[in-house]
């Protein structure tokens, strides 16, 4: 068995990508796209005149990074560069772990040599499709402004690239200087449609068989609605692929780690803990999500919230109490409450800015967070008796919210209970004037869903102050660019973004040197995976025989006792092949009862061996080898 990490990813929006070679089959684990790299481009200009003069472009490299440094052209999109080096015809299976993990899939499926089977959960496939369609719709604005794209655009010429500031070069070329090959023109709506025809959707825990050899099942990871971890079983053993996971999410079904217990091999691909390693080493008794990070050149806001959860490591286990102790440990931290406190803080801050006469702009791309935040804001407005409109502007807003209300079985227990009681899962599904109430007192909640910023109905219903949810979190395309230009000079307005976003570079086009960015910015770190404190306890509970870790966790594992665990382990680096030993030395064989009854054994005394002659047919089905009664003909 061989494992190759093609990309370590960059968090929630750009998950890792790997290749697993098992039982002679190659499995691609996720096919994402790095949308954070869009930051090198400038948003669509507000006027037809070029933003950047063509004169003295060679001097740009000596200038400080500002809005004029960005590339003014129709953007290309960065795929997994190491995946391009692989012959796609050799890929047999593609497993998708989250909607973000399939954003780059149309680049692969439109290749005429691609013939692999693609598997994803029903919800991940549908949400991923809507996200890709929305991206294509937002990109149209670039095409309308710049016209058709050429095979070799001007900005990709070496002279132009050489004149760019070093910060942009690092994004374009990558740390190793080889990342430029990954930039590609965006796929079309037809490509997305053809891609989805190749996707086979599954429910949680539903088994699917590939070529009679591999049995694959998806189990909830808790990261996002429809996201999953995979368990792969073959005649030589079982492999569990653990992507970014959350134990107690706000909206998604909880992390189903019990279904991954006693796997022979665990491929550990949750890099979210790696990003927090430094914080953890500094204070291993406090969660790294204990506060909000909101420090910028133009605004510094300190949070009064402090999430003080103590994590006590259990250093010694007996065989009898390992499951009990680890289960208690994993359930001791209420991640749900922690995340709800963050949303409550966002809501209270939003209300304060609205009272001051400003508006609130929320370009968050996590659909579970958005749906929950819509509801929290509705409650906050109700409590304040404020009739402030909430606008959700996206080409797929109606479809997405309507879909979220018909999949209660994919959601957390709290939302499932609401659906069982006959209530609507998400109030965001109400697209017109809605009424919500508490203690039988009802007020009107103005919540609207619109497909575009220039929609006639939106212009008719528009009023300020207001709260707007819209894409895109990269601040390079979508309605957010227009609204941010409108409010960036208003000190009473609030912009809510995620910690994963490079705020300095993302907001660069909206903060020209001669104009100060007056709009206040609130940056919040949402939980994106398993914390370092929990990973050790999780693995003790799962009881694998071998674990493959990212290389970046080597030092942490050494410092925290992984060398004394019951399982063996190895490490992987990006673009390096790792050989993983099969834990089963021999394959198992099921023999039909009819054949067993025909066996006439003989004992070889010297060899201490019993032998028998039989005649049958060897078949491989459902991942197991079977010997059945053959056809005498």
C-alpha triplet 619, 623, 625: angle, nearest 5°? 35
| 380 & 482 share domain | yes
d(CA 32, CA 29): 10
| 484 & 599 share domain | no
Maximum Cα interatomic distance, the chain, rounded to a whole number of Å = 94
pLDDT score for 274: 62
Residue 47's SS3 state is coil
Contact 223, 246 (CB under 8 A): yes
The domain containing residue 374 runs over which residues?
350-524
- Edge-first strand order for the sheet with 228-234 is 207-210, 214-220, 228-234, 237-242, 265-268, 546-550, 568-572
How many CB atoms within 10 Å of residue 332? 13
| 471 & 594 share domain | no
d(CA 123, CA 36): 24
Q: Which of 524, 557, 575 is the last residue of a domain?
A: 524
Residue 497's SS3 state is strand
| 518 & 382 share domain | yes
* Total residue count of the chain as it appears in this document: 633
SS3 content of the chain, % helix, strand, coil (to 5): 35, 20, 45
Residue 81's SS3 state is helix
pLDDT < 50 regions, the chain: 50-58, 276-321, 324, 328, 332, 429-443, 513-514, 633
Instruction: Specify if 223 maps to a domain.
Output: no
Q: What is the pTM of this model?
A: 0.86
List b or e across 384-402, with b for residues whose CB sees 16 or more CB atoms inside 10 angstroms.
eeeebbbbbbbbbbebbbe
| 485 & 371 share domain | yes
| 486 & 356 share domain | yes
List the beta bridge partners of residue 414.
Answer: none
Q: Which of 500, 524, 548 is the last residue of a domain?
A: 524
Instruction: Specify if 584 maps to a domain.
Output: no
Q: Which residues contact 437 (CB under 8 A, 6 or more apart)?
A: 382, 443
The string of pLDDT tens digits covering residues 439-472 is 333 445 678 999 999 999 999 999 999 999 999 9
d(CA 183, CA 541): 42
The string of pLDDT tens digits covering residues 321-364 is 455 455 545 554 567 888 999 999 999 999 999 999 999 999 99
pLDDT score for 325: 52
| 400 & 503 share domain | yes
Instruction: Specify if 435 maps to a domain.
Output: yes
Contact 252, 246 (CB under 8 A): yes
Tokens of 126: 């549908």
Alpha helices in 356-491 (DSSP H): 367-383, 397-404, 413-420, 456-461, 479-487
Instruction: Specify if 320 maps to a domain.
Output: no
d(CA 37, CA 17): 17
| 393 & 516 share domain | yes
Residue 231 backbone dihedrals phi, psi, to 5 degrees: -120, 125
| 354 & 435 share domain | yes
Instruction: Specify if 377 maps to a domain.
Output: yes
Provide the CATH number for the domain around residue 389: 3.40.50.10890
Instruction: Specify if 432 maps to a domain.
Output: yes
pLDDT score for 437: 41
d(CA 313, CA 360): 41
Tokens of 527: 């939980």
| 509 & 619 share domain | no
Q: Which of 505, 524, 543 is the last residue of a domain?
A: 524
pLDDT score for 564: 64
Q: Which helix (H) or strand (E) holds 184?
A: strand 183-184
Contact 524, 363 (CB under 8 A): no
| 510 & 599 share domain | no
| 519 & 594 share domain | no
Instruction: Specify if 221 maps to a domain.
Output: no
How many CB atoms within 10 Å of residue 276? 18
C-alpha triplet 240, 114, 132: angle, nearest 5°? 75
Q: How many domains does the chain have?
A: 2
Instruction: Specify if 374 maps to a domain.
Output: yes
């Amino acid at each position: 068995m061989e494992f190759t990490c093609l990309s370590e990813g960059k968090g929630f929006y750009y998950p890792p990508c790997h290749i697993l070679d098992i039982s002679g089959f190659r499995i691609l684990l996720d096919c994402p796209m790095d949308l954070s790299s869009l930051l090198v481009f400038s948003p669509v200009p507000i006027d037809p005149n070029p933003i950047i003069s063509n004169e003295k472009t060679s001097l740009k490299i000596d200038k400080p990074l500002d809005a004029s440094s960005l590339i003014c052209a129709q953007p290309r999109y960065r795929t997994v560069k190491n995946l391009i080096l692989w012959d796609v015809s050799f890929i047999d299976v593609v497993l998708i772990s989250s909607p973000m993990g399939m954003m780059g899939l149309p680049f692969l499926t439109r290749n005429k040599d691609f013939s692999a089977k693609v598997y994803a959960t029903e919800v991940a496939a549908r949400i991923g499709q809507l996200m890709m369609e929305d991206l294509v719709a937002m990109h149209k604005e670039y095409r309308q402004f710049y016209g058709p794209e050429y095979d070799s655009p001007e900005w990709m010429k070496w002279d132009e690239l050489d004149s760019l500031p070093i910060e942009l070069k690092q994004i374009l070329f990558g740390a190793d200087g080889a990342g430029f090959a990954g930039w590609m023109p965006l796929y079309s709506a037809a490509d997305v449609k053809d891609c989805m025809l190749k996707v086979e959707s599954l429910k949680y825990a539903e088994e699917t068989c590939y070529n009679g050899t591999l049995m694959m099942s998806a189990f909830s990871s808790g990261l996002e609605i429809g996201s999953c971890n995979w368990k792969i079983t073959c005649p030589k053993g079982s492999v569990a692929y653990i992507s970014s996971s959350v134990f107690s999410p706000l909206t998604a079904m909880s992390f189903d780690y019990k279904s991954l217990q006693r796997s022979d091999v665990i491929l550990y691909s949750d890099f979210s803990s790696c990003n927090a390693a430094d914080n953890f080493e500094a204070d291993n008794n406090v969660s790294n999500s204990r506060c909000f990070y909101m420090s910028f050149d133009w605004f510094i806001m300190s949070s009064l919230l402090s999430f003080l959860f103590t994590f006590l490591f259990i250093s010694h286990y007996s065989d009898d109490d390992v499951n009990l102790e680890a289960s208690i440990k994993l359930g001791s931290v209420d991640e749900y409450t922690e995340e709800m406190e963050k949303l409550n803080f966002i809501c209270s801050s939003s209300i304060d800015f609205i009272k001051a006469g400003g508006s609130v702009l929320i370009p968050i791309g996590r659909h579970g967070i958005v749906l929950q935040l819509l509801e929290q804001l509705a409650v906050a407005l109700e409590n304040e008796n404020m009739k402030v409109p909430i606008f959700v502007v996206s080409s797929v807003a109606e479809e997405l919210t309507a879909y979220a209300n018909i999949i209660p079985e994919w959601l957390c227990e709290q939302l499932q209970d609401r659906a069982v009681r006959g209530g609507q899962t998400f109030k965001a599904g109400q697209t017109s004037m809605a009424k919500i109430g508490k203690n039988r007192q009802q007020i009107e909640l103005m919540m609207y869903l619109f497909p575009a910023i220039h929609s006639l109905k939106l212009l008719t219903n528009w009023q300020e102050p207001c709260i707007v949810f819209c894409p895109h979190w990269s601040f390079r395309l979508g309605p957010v660019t227009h609204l941010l230009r409108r409010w960036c000079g208003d000190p009473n307005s609030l912009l809510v973004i995620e910690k994963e976003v490079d705020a300095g570079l993302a907001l660069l086009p909206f903060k020209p040197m001669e104009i100060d960015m007056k709009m206040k910015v609130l940056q919040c770190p949402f939980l994106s995976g398993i914390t370092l404190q929990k990973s050790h306890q999780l693995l003790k509970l799962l009881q694998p025989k071998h674990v493959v870790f990212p290389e970046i966790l080597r030092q942490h594992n050494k410092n925290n006792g992984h060398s004394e665990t019951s399982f063996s382990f190895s490490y992987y680096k990006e673009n390096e092949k790792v050989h993983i030993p099969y834990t089963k030395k021999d394959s198992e064989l099921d023999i039909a009862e009819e054949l067993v009854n025909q066996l006439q054994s003989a004992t070889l005394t010297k060899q201490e061996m019993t032998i028998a002659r039989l005649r049958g047919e060897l078949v491989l089905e459902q991942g197991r080898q079977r010997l059945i009664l053959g056809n005498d003909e």
